[in-house]
Structure 1
Amino acid sequence: MAAGRLELVVVRHGLTQWNRECRYQGQRDVPLLLPDALPGLDRLREALEAQAFDAVHCSDLIRCRQTLAHVIEGRERAWPTHFDSRLRELDFGDYEGRTYEELKDLEAYRVWIDSAGEQAPPGGESTAELRQRLEAWFAELLAGCSPHGQHRALVVTHGGVIRELRRRFEAIGFWEGGVSQAEGRRFLFTHDGEPWQCSSSSAVPAPASAVS
C-alpha cells in the first residue's frame, strides 16, 4: 500500500510597524504595515498561486489573518480554514511593545536571552509552553491525515512558531531557525508503517538562485 504523505507549508505573517521598529509583538494584535508589507506578500502569493491545499490553518491574530487573505485572495472558499490561538506567537509578557535597546540592561532580560527562551519572560510564556500547545495542534493535524493518503496544508503563523518547528523537524539550534516576514518553510512528512517522519525542509518562497 502506498505510503502517506503530508506537505506542510508554514509561513510567517507580513511586515508590521512593530517589526520595523524591532519591538516584541508576541500576542499583541498588531496589524500589517500597509502598503509597505505588500511586496513581500505579493512574492509569497506568487510562490503559492499554483498550489492547492486540503486545509488552511491560521493564527487568530490580525496580522496573520490579513496575510492569509492576501495570499489566497480569490480562493478563500476553496479550502476549509481553521483559525487557531495555538498558532499564536510566544507570549512575551512584560517585554511586548519594547525593543532590545530598551531591555538590554535588565538582568531578567539577559537571563531570558541566555536561556534561549526556556525561562519565561516576566508575565509571559516559556518556549516549553509554546511547544506544548504546538504539539497539541500538530497531533490533531496528523490525526486527520490518512496514513496512506496525500495531504497538503497551508499554515500562516509567527516567527517564534516557525523557529520551534524548525528546531524540532530540522534539528537546528534555537538561534538558527529565524525566518523573515512573508517567508517560511515547506516540510514534507511521510508515513510508511512507522510514525510520521519529516523527510525534508526547504525555503518558501524558494531562493532566487534555486528558481533561476
Structure 2
Amino acid sequence: MATDLNVELVAVRHGITAWNLERRYQGQRDIPLLFPDAEEGLLALRVALAEERFDAIYASDLGRCQETLAWSQAAKPGVPVYAEPRLRELDFGEYEGKVYDELKELPHYRAWIDSVGELQIPGGESSGQLRERLDAWLDDVAAHSQAHGYQKVLVVTHGGVIRELRRRFETLDFWEGIVHQAQGRRWQLAYQAGSDGKGGWQCNYSSAVPAQESATS
C-alpha cells in the first residue's frame, strides 16, 4: 500500500443529457450526451482544462462520461486512461427513467428521500454501497500514484459520485454537494499510510472547476 502521497484530484461531471433536462433518474443507464444542448458546457470545460497536464485519467465507463472526456481533449499522448466501472453513478434500480411525480406517492421512495439516500433503492444501491466502491477505487488511486508517480489526476464521472466525494473531502451534507453538468471540484489530497498497513486520504484544499470568477466592485 502507498506511503505518504500528495495528489491533486480534479473530478468533473459529464455533460447534459436528455434525461438531465427531463429530470429523470438515469443512474447506470447508458444515456448519451444531448447535442447541441451539451456543447456550451463541454467547450467551457475544455477551456478550463486546456493548460492542465494530468498524469492519469479515470473515467466512468458509461458513454456520457467517455464522450465528455473526448470533448475535454484532456487525454494527451502518453497519459494512461482507465475506464472505471466503480465511478458509475448510483444504481437507481426501480427509479431509473422515472421523474419525481411518478415516484412521490410510493412509500419506499419517500422513505429513501427521508433517509438522505442511505436506504437501498429497490433493485439498486444505497449511498453506503456507492461509498464502498469509491473507497476501493481511492485505494487503487493511492497504489497507482505510488507505483507510477501520479501527482495530478483527472476523474470524469457523475453527479452522485462527486456528491459523495464532496461529503468525504469537504464534510458537506448530502444536499450541499451538488455540481452541475460539465463542472466539478478540485481537491489537494494527502494520503497517509497507517501503522496497521491501512491508510486514508485527507483534503487540504478544494475549489470549483471551472474556477469561479472573483466578484468585482
When the two structures are superposed, what TM-score results if normalisation uses the length of structure 1? 0.92
Deviations 1:149-208 (A, max 9, x none): 660000000000000000011011011101000000001013578754210111000113
Task: Report how many residues are paired.
Answer: 208
Q: Which runs of 5+ in 2 are unaligned?
A: none
CA distance, structure 2, for counterparts of residue 166 and residue 60 of structure 1: 21
Cα distance in 1 for residues equivalent to 2:35 and 2:187: 29
Cross-structure match for 2:132: 132
Could you tell me which residue of structure 1 aligns to residue 32 of structure 2?
Answer: 31
Amino acid at match of 1:202: S
Corresponding residue of 1:65 = 66
Q: Does the aligned pair in 2 maintain the 1:69–1:76 contact within 8 Å?
A: no
Write the mapping of 1:1-212 to structure 2, written as runs, cut at 5 A: 4-72=5-73, 75-146=75-146, 151-191=151-191, 196-209=201-214
Deviations 1:47-83 (A, max 9, x none): 000000000000000000000000016x543411000
C-alpha RMSD of the superposition: 2.1
Structure 1 residues 67-106: Cα deviation after superposition (integer angstroms, max 9, x where no partner)? 0000016x54341100010000000000000001111111
Mapped partners of 2:12, 2:215: distance in 1: 18
Aligned-residue sequence identity (percent) comes to: 57
SS of 1:140's equivalent in the other structure is: helix
Partner SS state of residue 117, structure 1: coil
- In 1, Cα distance between the equivalents of 2:86 and 2:79? 20
In structure 2, distance between residues paired with 1:47 and 1:118: 34
Q: Secondary structure at the match of 1:145?
A: helix
Q: Is the 8 A contact 2:10 2:185 kept in 1?
A: yes
Gaps of 5+ in 1: none
Structure 1 CA distance for aligned equivalents of residues 215 and 13 of structure 2: 20
| Residues in 1 aligned to 2:92 and 2:134: alpha-carbon distance in whole angstroms | 16
Tell me by how many angstroms 1:4 deviates.
3.8
Which secondary structure does the structure 2 equivalent of 1:10 belong to?
strand
Residue 91 to residue 191, structure 1, CA distance change in 2 (3 Å): closer
CA distance in 2 between counterparts of 1:150 and 1:124 reads 33
- Partner amino acid, structure 2, of 1:32: L
In the superposition, the TM-score normalised over structure 2's length comes to 0.90
Check the 8 A contact 2:56/2:150 in 1, yes or no.
Answer: no
1:120 positional shift: 1.0
Post-superposition shift, 1:209? 2.6
